[in-house]
Amino acid sequence: MELIVATKNKKKLQEIKIILSGLNLKISSLADCAGKIRIVENGRTFRENAVKKAVKVAAATGKLSLGEDSGLCVDALKGAPGIYSSRFSGRNKSDTQNNIKLLKLLERVPQNKRKAHYVCAVALADKGGLLGVVEGKCFGRIDLVCKGTNGFGYDPLFIIPKHKKTFGQLSERIKHKMSHRYHALKKARKLLEKYIVKQLAS
């Protein structure tokens, strides 16, 4: 059985494959699909965007699809960048530019006021429509400078208090057991397991 992840982000796809490893699924992405599937991310929440991605891809391909939307919410910025995390410094901008903008906005904010959390929403759909949507979060704070080269997005700035290191400094093994994406996909995994069993029995 094939699962199409509604993304062209190679690093995000790899992370999802690692966390969902062990399931009897061939996991591919939009980059592997024939034809162009255009998805407009104009939802007001992570959940709305995740659902839109999953349902659109499932309808276009007729296959089991996973839509994921995630981002960083900073308390001192009233939840920004939020759903605009990937395009915080403008469309087609880089992770580095997004991080630079975030640091500039927080340059006068002391360390004890730099609390933040990552959010990840995951939706599953097949040709019949939406199967379910789940969410995961991970809490931390924003560092004063970028540290580490692992991960992507805001990982070099996102400190995990327990480890006193950023996701950029921590290994994939540690990150994949505590990240927002891990918590959401852990819930999604249960939905997938039930779906696979149901399909095999039909």
**How far are the Cα atoms of 58, 90, 93, 138 from residue 101, in angstroms, in the given order?**
35, 10, 11, 22
CB atoms within 10 A of CB 49: 24
Q: What share of the chain is helix, strand, coil (3-state, %, to 5)?
A: 40, 25, 35
DSSP 166: E
Strand partners, 66: 5, 124
Is 95 an annotated catalytic residue? Answer: no
User: Which residue type does 17 have?
Assistant: K
Tokens encoding 172? 């994939």
User: Choosing from 69, 95, 143, 155, which is the catalytic residue?
Assistant: 69
Catalytic positions, written as ranges: 69
